[in-house]
Amino acid sequence: MALGALSHIAFTVSDLDRSAAFYDRVLGFLGYERWPAVAGQAKWKKTDVGIVLLYAANPESADRRHDGYAPGLHHFSFEADSRAQVDALHDLLRNNGSEILDPPADYAYTTGYYAVFFADPDGLKLELCHAPRAYINPDAT
C-alpha cells in the first residue's frame, strides 16, 4: 500500500439495477471484476482500486441528474492504453444506448490528448482518455 493511493470511489445512484448494468459493461471493458457487496451496493475491483455504487440517493434528489458544475465532483476519468481502446469503448456505449457527451476526438488539454466523454444513468460525467505519458506522469521523459 502507498500513502495517498486511491482506495475506492463511491457513487450514489438512483436505481441500483440500472446503474449496475451500465457499470458492468463499462467497468468490465476496463478490466474491473465484479465483487460481492452488501445489500444496496454493487462493487467492482481492479488491482487495489474499488468502485462502489450506493443505492442511497436522497428521495428528494433521486430524480435530479448530476450537476458537474455545482460544488463537488465534475467528472471521473479512466486511462486508456491506446486511442483504439477509446474508440472501442465509444462503440460499446453507442451500441448499448448510453449517452455520449462528446465523441472520441483530440482535445486541447495537451498535445495528443484523445478522449470520449459519456454519462452514467444519473448523469455523472465519465471519461476514457489516452494521453501522452508526460501528461499522466509529469516526471516521465
54 with 87, same domain: the answer is no
* Distance of alpha carbon 25 from alpha carbon 7, whole angstroms: 22
* Distance of alpha carbon 55 from alpha carbon 91, whole angstroms: 28
Whether residue 15 lies inside any domain: the answer is yes
The residue range of the domain holding 16 is 1-58
Q: What was the pLDDT predicted at 141?
A: 44
Whether residue 66 lies inside any domain: the answer is no
Provide the domain count of the chain: 2
CA angle 7, 103, 111 (to 5 degrees): 75
Is the separation of the CB atoms in 121 and 15 below 8 Å? yes
Lowest mean pLDDT among 5-9, 54-58, 64-68, 97-101: 54-58
22 with 79, same domain: the answer is no
Q: When comparing pLDDT for 64 and 80, which is higher?
A: 80
Res. 140 pLDDT band, cuts 50 70 90? very low
pTM, entire model: 0.87
Q: When comparing pLDDT for 35 and 140, which is higher?
A: 35
Instruction: Over range 98-109, report the average pLDDT.
Output: 95
Q: Which residues 6+ apart lie within 8 Å of 136 measured at CB?
A: 79
Res. 2 pLDDT band, cuts 50 70 90? confident
